[in-house]
Structure formats: structure tokens, C-alpha cells
Amino acid sequence: MKAVDDVSFEIAEGETLGLVGESGCGKSTLLNLAAGLLRPSGGNVHVLGAPLAGINRSAGYLFQQDALMPLKTAPDHVAIGPPVAGVAAQPAEAGRPVEPASGAPLRAMR
């Protein structure tokens, strides 16, 4: 069974993309593919111009279901990533450039 078929899009730097559709139409499947949590059964996924092989380390991801600690806020859930990965956490500052594993500069949201 195909969850999604014939999908192609590019997101330019600074651009925002919204996925809107009925329940079960494939929105979460596309996000899981982009995060590297699923492998496409056909075609490929590119991130920053390179084929995605494994987990997308240049993206953050929060699960749709309560998969973490229910008493934590969304920012707390995001901040848990570095310590779990064995990296010293640094406080986030609005507008401060953030260097993801890919080396491509990102900006913290204001």
C-alpha cells in the first residue's frame, strides 16, 4: 500500500512549508521521510542537495503523539536532544546563528 505517491517539492532557505490535509493523507509520512525515520519505497529524499542516508541531523523533530515527558514543554523537549546525543547544551538566543550537524547556518526563531 502506498501512503504517498508522486510527491516532489523544494523548500528554499527562509521559506516555510505547511502540510495540510485530511487525517491519513500522508502528512506524517512525508515528515517521517524528511526526518529520515522512514525510507522511501521508491524515489529518494534529498536534504541540502545531498541524498538523505539515515537520520536527518540537520532537522529537529517532535513526534505527534506524547512520546516524551508529559510535564515538559515543547522547548524542553527540543532542548533534550543535545544531552541525549552527548553534546553539551547551550542556551538558545533569538537571532543567534545555530550550527546544525550539517554545518549549514540556521537562525533561531524569534
In b/e form, how buried is each residue of 3-40, taking b as 16+ CB within 10 angstroms? eeeeeeeeeeeeeeeeeeeeeeebbbbbbbbbbbeeee
Model confidence over 27-70: pLDDT tens digits? 889 988 998 989 998 889 998 889 998 888 888 776 666 566 77
- Sequence-distant (≥ 6) Cβ neighbours of residue 42 within 8 angstroms: none
Q: Indicate the pLDDT class of residue 110, thresholds 50, 70 and 90.
A: very low
Tell me how many degrees the CA angle 33-5-102 measures, rounded to the nearest 5.
25
Model confidence over 62-105: pLDDT tens digits? 666 656 677 777 777 777 777 777 777 666 666 655 555 555 44
| Domains of the chain, residue spans | 1-61, 65-110
- The answer to whether the pTM exceeds 0.75 is no
Tell me how many degrees the CA angle 44-53-25 measures, rounded to the nearest 5.
45
